[in-house]
Amino acid sequence: MATKGAGTVYVCQSCGNQSRKWLGKCPDCGAWNSFVEERTRSAGGKETGRASFGLRQTVPVAYSDIESQTEARTSSGIAEFDRVLGGGVVPGSLVLIGGEPGIGKSTLLLQIADKISAGGASVLYVSGEESERQIKMRGERLGVEATNLYLLPETNLESILDAVERINPGAVIVDSIQTVFSSKIESAPGSVSQVREMANQFLLLAKSQTIPVFLIGHVTKEGALAGPKALEHIVDTVLYFEGERHYNHRIVRATKNRFGAANELGVFEMTGAGLVAVANPSEMFLQERPRDVAGSVVTACMEGTRPVLVEIQALVSGSKYGTGRRMAQGFDANRIALLIAMLEKRVGFHLIGDDVFINVAGGLEIDEPAADLGVVAAIASSFKNAAIDPQTVLFGEVGLTGEVRGALQAQQRAREAQTLGFKKIIMPATNTAGLERLLGVRTVGVRSVEEALDELF
C-alpha cells in the first residue's frame, strides 16, 4: 500500500494509535476497521494552547516544600454522584461522563449544574447538540431554577474559552466533547485527533483555573465517534453509564478515578423529573426476584466501597446441538466456562450437552471473583431443578480445584445481607471468624464447592 505524503496520518478512532499506512486492525487496541485518514497540524501549529490557560508552574518544586492540602471537595448537590466521584467534586478535576445516546447524560449534568449553581458558583453549560430552548425545556421538566447557570450553544473551542474568560464560572460542562472543535486543527470534529486535543485544552482550563470541568462523551458500539479510550488517560476521572436503557434505573460507575476508589457505583432512577438517587440499591436489585424458583440465587458483591446484593440467574437446558452454548450477561463469559468445567470435573455435573445461560438481574455488571460461588450455586440449582432457600446469600471465590477462597470485605457483605433480612450466609470458611456473634446472623463457612452445595440442597 502506498504511503501518503506528509500531513496525512491514519488514526485509530478507538484508541488514537497512529500509523502512516491504513491498517485493517489496530495493533494497539485490536479494533477492526478503526483507522481513519486524518490531517496532521501544519508545521508550527503545535501552539494551540492559549497563553492565558497555560499551566502556571513550570519549575521543579521540592517535594517537602509542597503544602499538603486536604482536598477541598465540594458537593455536587447529589449525594449519589458525590459518592461516584469519591466524595464530592474536586476543584481542577477533569471528569469524563460516557454513555450511549439517550441514557441520561445531559439530564444528569443539567441537574448537577443546577445544584452547583444553587450552591453559589456560576456554571457554564456548553452544548454543541441542543439549543438553549431545548435545554431550557429539559430544565423545566427537571425543575431547574438556577439563576447562576449560563447556557452556551457553541462548538468552537476558541469561542468557548472566550466565554469562560468573560463569565469566569465555578464549573464548566461540555455536552459533548465530540462536538467541540478548534479551527487550528485540520481533522474533522469528532475525530480522534480533535477530541483528544480538545480534551487536553479542557484539562489545561481545569488545572489553570482550578475549576471542575465535566466532559460528556458519546459511546457507540459501532465506534462511529471517537472512542473514549483515547480520552481516558487524559482525564482525571471516567464515569460510565452502565447497563441498558430499557431499565428505569441507571447505573453510573467510576472506571478510573485519580481522586477516589475506582469501581464506585451510583444508582439512579429515571423519573418524569429527571434522575433520582436510589437510596438502597440492594433492595432495588432484589425487588423483582422470584421466590422458590430453581436457578435464582442472591450474592453479595462489593461495588467500589459499597456492598450490593444482586440476584444471579442461571438457566441450564438441553442443547439442540451437540455441544452446549455458554452465554452470560453481566458476568465474564470466560469465567463462566471455567466454573462450568470445574463443576464437571470436581462435582461431576454433566453439562457438556447443556446450554448454560447466566444473567445478572437488573443490568449490573459484576466483575469480581467473589461472585463465583453465587454463579456456581445458580447453575447447580437450575441443573438440579431445585430452588435455593430465598433467605440465603452466598459469596466466595472459587478456584479450579473447587476450593472456596476468601473474599475481600467479607464482613461488609455479610452485614448488608443481614440488614436486608437474610437468615443464612454461605461464605468462605476463612472469613467467618466471629461474624456470627457480631452480626447475629447464621454464617456457614465452606471450604469447597461441594460443601456449599451440600449445605444448599
Residues engaged in binding ligand TYD (CB under 6 A): 99, 101-107, 138, 141-142, 270, 272-274
List the grid coordinates of 412: 461488609
Question: Least Å distance between CB 106 and ligand TYD?
Answer: 3
Cβ 182 vs Cβ 205: under 8 Å: no
CB closest to Mg ion, residue no: 106
CA 445 – CA 426 distance, rounded (Å): 6
Question: Least Å distance between CB 246 and ligand TYD?
Answer: 11
Question: Least Å distance between CB 351 and Mg ion?
Answer: 44
List the grid coordinates of 95: 471528569
Closest to ligand TYD by CB, 60 vs 272, is 272
**Contact region with Mg ion (CB under 5 A), list: 106-114, 141-149, 198-206, 315-323:** 106-114
Closest to ligand TYD by CB, 105 vs 415, is 105
Closest to Mg ion by CB, 111 vs 313, is 111
Question: Least Å distance between CB 105 and Mg ion?
Answer: 5
**Contact region with Mg ion (CB under 5 A), list: 30-38, 101-109, 286-294, 364-372:** 101-109
**Contact region with Mg ion (CB under 5 A), list: 98-106, 119-127, 133-141, 231-239:** 98-106
Closest to ligand TYD by CB, 103 vs 425, is 103
The CA-atom distances, in angstroms, between 313 and each of 94, 329, 335, 395 are 38, 10, 15, 14
CA 193 – CA 301 distance, rounded (Å): 39
Closest to ligand TYD by CB, 104 vs 363, is 104
Closest to ligand TYD by CB, 144 vs 426, is 144
Closest to ligand TYD by CB, 91 vs 274, is 274
Check binding of 106 to Mg ion (CB under 5 A). Answer: yes
Measured CA angle at 236 (ends 83, 72), to 5 deg: 60
Q: What is the 3-state secondary structure (H, E, C) of the chain?
A: CCCCCCCEEEEECCCCCEECCCCCECCCCCCECCEEEEECCCCCCCCCCCHHHCCCCCCCCCHHHCCCCCCCCECCCCHHHHHHCCCCECCCCEEEEEECCCCCHHHHHHHHHHHHHHCCCCEEEEECCCCHHHHHHHHHHHCCCCCCEEEEECCEHHHHHHHHHHHCCCEEEEECHHHCECCCCCCCCCCHHHHHHHHHHHHHHHHHHCCCEEEEEECCCCCCCCCCHHHHCCCCEEEEEECCCCCCEEEEEEEEECCCCCCCEEEEEEECCEEEECCCHHHHHHCCCCCCCCCEEEEEEEECCEEEEEEEEEEEEECCCCCCCEEEECCCHHHHHHHHHHHHHHHCCCCCCEEEEEEEHHHCCCCCHHHHHHHHHHHHHHHHCCCCCCCEEECCEECCCCEEECCCCHHHHHHHHHHCCCCEEEEEHHHCCCHHHHHCCEEEEECEHHHHHHHHC
The one of ligand TYD, Mg ion, none whose footprint includes residue 93, by CB under 5 to 8 A per kind, is: none
Closest to ligand TYD by CB, 72 vs 273, is 273
Cβ 114 vs Cβ 273: under 8 Å: no
Closest to ligand TYD by CB, 212 vs 274, is 274
Question: Least Å distance between CB 104 and Mg ion?
Answer: 8
The one of Mg ion, ligand TYD, none whose footprint includes residue 362, by CB under 5 to 8 A per kind, is: none
Check binding of 178 to Mg ion (CB under 5 A). Answer: no
Cβ 208 vs Cβ 54: under 8 Å: yes
Check binding of 13 to Mg ion (CB under 5 A). Answer: no
Question: Least Å distance between CB 26 and Mg ion?
Answer: 28
The CA-atom distances, in angstroms, between 112 and each of 43, 98, 236, 326 are 41, 16, 18, 41
Question: Least Å distance between CB 453 and ligand TYD?
Answer: 43
The one of ligand TYD, Mg ion, none whose footprint includes residue 138, by CB under 5 to 8 A per kind, is: ligand TYD
Question: Least Å distance between CB 215 and ligand TYD?
Answer: 13
The one of Mg ion, ligand TYD, none whose footprint includes residue 120, by CB under 5 to 8 A per kind, is: none
Closest to ligand TYD by CB, 220 vs 287, is 220
Closest to ligand TYD by CB, 104 vs 281, is 104
The one of ligand TYD, Mg ion, none whose footprint includes residue 5, by CB under 5 to 8 A per kind, is: none
Question: Least Å distance between CB 250 and ligand TYD?
Answer: 9
Question: Least Å distance between CB 108 and ligand TYD?
Answer: 7
Binding mask 21-60 for Mg ion (x = CB under 5 A): ----------------------------------------
The one of Mg ion, ligand TYD, none whose footprint includes residue 102, by CB under 5 to 8 A per kind, is: ligand TYD
Question: Least Å distance between CB 451 and ligand TYD?
Answer: 46
Contact residues for Mg ion (CB under 5 A)?
106
